[in-house]
Structure formats: C-alpha cells, structure tokens
Amino acid sequence: MIGHKRCFHLPECASRSHGVFMKRVPIPDSTGPKRRPLATVPDLSEHYGVPEKTVHRWHQTQTCVGPLMFRVGKYLRARWDDIEQYDAEQAGGAAA
C-alpha cells in the first residue's frame, strides 16, 4: 500500500497479523532557506576544471588551496557557500 506504513512502535500494535495501518503525514517545509546539497569531488573537479585527483590533493596537503572541504564518512564534501567564498577571495573581492 503506497503512502501507508504498518504501526509497529506501539505495544498494542506489535502484532503484524492485525493489519493496522497508519496514514503517513507529510513533514511541512521549514520557513528557512532551502539547503543546497553538498558538493562532491566530481562537482568540484568540474567547477574548477581540474582532475579529481587534484581536488583530493588540495584536501590532503592542507595548504589552503581550494575551498574548505571535509569528510562525510569516507566521502569528501564541500559547502557551496564555502566554494563561492573561496572563488570571491581568489577574484580579489571579499565575501560577506
């Protein structure tokens, strides 16, 4: 049944055989700004026109080259706001 899930979290609903279903309630959108997805290594590579290995080297050498990057599990990620700030600094303008 699409849009429904079995209710297993209540003690009286622990039995799968009774067939109780709860209607899914959509989570309302927050009033804040939409969050952009984090940039991946291929995204950074395409943005700067460099090989992916170079992006990894920027992070590994920690020589302040490239935007701020961090690990999410085993994956390297960057925030688009940090990328735009780094680009503005490299262009000579100060980002707010």
State pLDDT tens for residues 72-84.
999 999 999 999 9
Looking at the DSSP bridge assignments, the partners of residue 71 are: 76
Write down the pTM of the prediction: 0.58
- Of 39, 42, 34, nearest to 78 by C-alpha is 39
Amino acid at 94: A
- Rounded CA separation 39/53 (Å): 15
The residue-averaged pLDDT of 52-67 equals 88
Label residue 26 by pLDDT band (50, 70, 90).
Answer: confident
- Rounded CA separation 35/86 (Å): 19
